[in-house]
């Protein structure tokens, strides 16, 4: 039996460590640890914690470059791998991978550049493109008679044709996944496909709400029973609607699917009096502006995948 993982301690005085923790891809991360002991449940029609861990791994892997992704998927004996939209015009990234028994579409989330003395222009361009997507919060994009986040729908449109052409090639069940913006793209991708019998599941990690009430109702009617939305701690992005009283542009979007919580221990700085906490970014608190229920650090994908690994190990131990 594999051992559990301990999430790294957070020392906000060590910027380099924080950089590696919350800005993906994680440094020196071992993907799909002992995967042969915990196979993907491709015939599962209900929630599976093992599948949740696998799909979290796929989601984090999407932040790596094409060569790294191809190498890791080759170790899993994949039979087809396609990097989505390699054109210079698109800032929407992800990949399609097919295995013997199932297929996965994984989207990359917001591509934050690592804090470094050397700046990668390509990473900056990708980040700026994702930022444009994130802040386009107008709900005027129509999908099947419902309204969704305009920026996210526009981002998916850049790879839509390619994704659906790939899905028509394989007769297998397809799982959609992603972290942050990638989770939002996974939801749009599964919904617009209009082929719910082929959707094996939709698993998102740290994803925002992306559509109005009509979108939620229609989505949940078709895919809600196989959509699972993971939230680690007080992840800021999943709770961004709480800012509606401070930011007028936040719309009345609602989450879809089944929420799944991943708990975390209290961090050392959270025991300090609120006025002494480092403002806004670290503790998401400002004197006079109470945002204590939100935390940007909790958005780091490494926390999601480690927590799900531990839950997987706990479940397997109970079954033995």
Instruction: Please indicate, yes or no, if residue 100 is contained in any of the structural domains.
Output: yes
What does the pLDDT read at residue 141?
A: 75
Which H or E run includes 146?
Answer: strand 146-148
Q: What is the pLDDT of residue 12?
A: 42
Q: What per-residue confidence (pLDDT) applies to 82?
A: 97
Tell me the residue range of the domain where 304 lies: 15-270+299-319
Which CATH number fits the domain that encloses residue 107? Answer: 3.40.50.1820
Whether the pLDDT of residue 150 is over 50: the answer is yes
Question: Is there a domain that residue 235 lies in?
Answer: yes
**What mean pLDDT is predicted for residues 230-246?**
75
Residue 211 lies in a domain: yes
Going by C-beta distance under 8 Å and a sequence separation of 6 or more, which residues neighbour residue 12? 18, 269, 278, 282
Per-residue confidence band for 61, with pLDDT thresholds at 50, 70 and 90: very high
Q: CA angle, 74 as apex, 82 and 39 as ends, to 5°?
A: 105
Q: Is residue 282 part of a domain?
A: no
CA distances from residue 34 to 7, 29, 75, 161 in whole angstroms, order as listed: 18, 13, 12, 35
Backbone angles phi, psi at 3, to 5 degrees: -85, 160
Res. 49: pLDDT tops 60: yes
Asked if the structure places residue 82 within a domain, the reply is yes
pLDDT tens, position by position, 83-133: 997 665 667 899 999 999 999 999 999 876 554 444 454 543 443 444 444
Tens-digit pLDDT profile for residues 247-287: 444 567 899 999 999 988 776 666 766 656 554 444 443 33
Domain assignment present for residue 110? The answer is: yes
In 240-254, which positions are buried (b, 16+ CB within 10 angstroms) versus exposed (e)? beeeeeeeeeebebb
For residue 1, tell me if it sits in a domain: no
Whether 25 has a pLDDT exceeding 50, the answer reads yes
How many other C-beta atoms are found inside a 10 Å radius of the C-beta of residue 173? 18
Query: Helix (H, G, I), strand (E, B), or coil: what is residue 169?
Result: helix
Which DSSP string corresponds to the chain? -PPP--PPP--TT-HHHHHHHHSSSPTT--TTTTGGGS---TT--S--HHHHHHHHHHHHHTTS-HHHHHHHHHHTT-SEEEES--STT----EEEEE-SS-EEEEE----PPP--SS--HHHHHHHHHHHHHHH-----EEETTEEE-HHHHHHHHTTHHHHHHHHHH--S-EEEEEETHHHHHHHHHHHHHT-TTTEEEEEEESPPP-B-HHHHHHHHHHHGGGEEEEEETTBTGGGGGGGGGT-TT----B--SEEEEE--PPPGGGGS-GGGSPTTTTT--BTTB--TT-BSGGG-HHHHHHHHHHHHHHHHHHH-
Residue of 233, 237, 263 whose CA lies nearest to 250: 237
Q: How many domains does the chain have?
A: 1
Domain presence at residue 58:
yes
Best mean pLDDT range from 6-10, 65-69, 316-320: 65-69
Maximum distance among all Cα pairs of the chain, rounded to whole angstroms: 57
């Amino acid at each position: 039996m594999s051992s559990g993982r301990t999430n790294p301690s957070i020392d906000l005085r060590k910027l380099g460590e924080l950089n590696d923790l919350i800005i993906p891809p994680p440094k020196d991360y071992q993907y799909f640890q002992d995967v042969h002991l915990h196979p993907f449940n491709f015939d599962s029609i209900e929630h599976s914690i093992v599948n949740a861990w696998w799909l979290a791994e796929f989601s984090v892997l999407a932040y790596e470059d094409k060569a790294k992704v191809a190498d890791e998927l080759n170790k899993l004996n994949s039979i087809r791998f396609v990097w989505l939209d390699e054109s210079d015009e698109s800032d929407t990234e992800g990949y399609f991978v097919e295995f013997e028994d199932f297929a996965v579409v994984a989207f990359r989330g917001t591509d934050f550049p690592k804090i470094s003395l050397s700046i990668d222009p390509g990473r900056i361009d990708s980040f700026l493109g994702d930022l444009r997507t994130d802040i386009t919060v107008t709900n005027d994009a129509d999908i099947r008679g419902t309204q969704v986040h305009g920026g996210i729908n526009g981002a998916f449109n850049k790879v839509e044709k390619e994704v659906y052409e790939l899905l028509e090639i394989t007769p297998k069940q397809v799982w959609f996944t992603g972290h942050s913006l990638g989770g939002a793209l996974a939801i749009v991708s599964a919904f617009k496909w209009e082929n719910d019998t082929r959707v094996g599941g939709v698993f998102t990690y740290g994803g925002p709400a992306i559509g109005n009430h009509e979108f939620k109702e229609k989505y949940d009617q078709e895919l809600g029973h196989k959509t699972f939305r993971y939230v680690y701690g007080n992840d800021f992005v999943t709770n961004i609607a709480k800012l509606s009283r401070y930011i007028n542009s936040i719309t009345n979007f609602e989450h879809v699917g089944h929420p799944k919580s991943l708990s975390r221990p209290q961090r050392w700085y959270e025991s300090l009096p609120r006025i002494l906490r480092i403002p806004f970014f670290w503790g998401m608190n400002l004197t006079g502006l109470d945002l204590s229920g939100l935390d940007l650090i909790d958005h780091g994908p490494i926390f999601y995948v480690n927590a799900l690994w531990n839950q997987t190990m706990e479940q397997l131990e109970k079954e033995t």
